[in-house]
Amino acid sequence: MEQQFEDSAVWTVATHNLDFAVREYLLLQDQHEELCQRLNQLSPVTSSSSSLSIASTAMTSPSVSPTRSFLGRDSLSPCRDQDMTSHTWMPSPSCRSRAYQYERVRDESVVGEVAAGEQKLFDVNEGMKRALTELLNCEAVRQDKAMRTWVQTRLLETEKELRRGRRRRSSATVD
C-alpha cells in the first residue's frame, strides 16, 4: 500500500512537472509571437539586405506536437482538452521559417525600441530553451519518441535563433 502511494506521488509530481514545463513553453511561445509581430511592425520590410535583421524560429520539423492524449492521462492533470487542442504549438506565418530583412531605421527612438524588443526576444528565447530542456528531462517525454523528437527539434531551433541574435547584436556594435 505504501509503495503504491509513493509510486502515485512520484507520477503526480512527474505529471505536474511535465504540465508546468508545457504551460511555460506555451506562454513563452505566445510572447515570442507577440515580440516578432511587434518587431515586424517597427521596421518596414525591404527586399535588400541590411545590417538589421530579425530572425525567428524556423519550424522545419514535422508538425508532430504534444496533445491532450499525450499529456492528460487522468483527472490529476490540470490541463483541459481545449487548452491542448486549441493551441497550434507553432508560430504564425509572420514569424516562421524565414529571417525578416529590415531597412536601417533613422529614428533613434525606433532604433532604441527595436533594440529593447530584440533583448526581450533574446530573454524569451532563453526561457523557451530552459522550458524545452525541462521537457526533455521529463520521463514521459523521454519515453515517447515522437514527443522527444518534437522537443529536441524545437530546442535546436531555439538555440539557433539565440545564436543568430547574438551575431546580430555583435555585428550591430561593430557598425
Per residue in 59-105, pLDDT (tens digit) is 444 444 554 445 544 333 333 333 433 334 444 444 543 344 444 44
Would you state the pLDDT for residue 171? Answer: 80
Cα dihedral sign for 67, 36, 131, 144? positive
Mean pLDDT of the residues in the chain: 70
Q: Could you tell me where the DSSP H helices lie in 43-174?
A: 68-71, 81-86, 108-137, 139-143, 145-174
Asked whether residue 52 carries a pLDDT value surpassing 50, the answer given is no
Cell 496533445 belongs to residue: 67
Strand-pair partners of 146: none
Would you state the pLDDT for residue 47? Answer: 36
Provide the domain limits for residue 88: 2-174
Q: Would you tell me how many other CB atoms lie within 10 Å of the CB of residue 103?
A: 14
Q: Which tens digit of pLDDT belongs to each residue from 113-150?
A: 888 999 999 999 999 999 999 999 999 999 999 999 99
Query: How many domains is the chain partitioned into structurally?
Result: 1
Residues 6+ apart with CB under 8 A from 42: 105, 110, 113, 114, 117
What is the pTM assigned to this prediction?
A: 0.62
